[in-house]
Structure 1
Amino acid sequence: MKKLDNFSNCLSVLKNADFKLAENNEIYRTGVIGQFNLTFELAWKALQEVLKLHGAAGAETGSPREILQLGYRLGFVNDSAVWLLMLKKRNTSVYI
């Protein structure tokens, strides 16, 4: 599945980020934040595709929050609090 592959690739890039460097380097920090935002966006969209493939009612449309909550209810997401915190962090960084 293309969306899942894209998510995996972005996550690999994010895992290799130097978070110590991001603490002191504004340009690098901006790049890490951008990579986080992209990775998160691809994560919830990949989850949406997986839910659709499994015939989950409500997966056709929905906000990231709704898709994450549905994924949690159906057992595809283990820790909804962590994912909802990431959503909040993503929203904070995007809309400032």
Structure 2
Amino acid sequence: MKKLDNFINCLTVLANADFKMAETNDIYRTGMIGQFNLTFELAWKALQEIMRMHGTEEASTGSPREILQLAYKIGFISDS
């Protein structure tokens, strides 16, 4: 699934970021923030597609917040 692959790639880039450098380098920090935003966007869209593939009709539309709440409600994600 393309959306999930893109999310995993973005998450890997973010996980490998140098957080110490971001403390002192504004441009690097700005790039990390952009990477976080992209990763979050891909995360909820991939989650939405996965829920649709599993037959969750309510996942067809919705904001990121609604998709995350639905995923929590039906047990796709947890707070642990």
For normalisation by structure 1, the TM-score amounts to 0.81
CA RMSD of aligned residues (A): 1.1
How far did 1:79 drift? 1.7
How far did 1:57 drift? 2.8
* Corresponding residue for residue 76 of structure 1: 76
Percent identity, aligned pairs only, is: 75
Q: Which runs of 5+ in 1 are unaligned?
A: 81-96
Aligned residues: 80
Q: Which runs of 5+ in 2 are unaligned?
A: none
Give the residue type in structure 2 aligned to 1:52. Answer: R
For normalisation by structure 2, the TM-score amounts to 0.96
Segments ≥4 residues shifted beyond 2 Å: none
How far did 1:78 drift? 1.2
* Corresponding residue for residue 46 of structure 1: 46
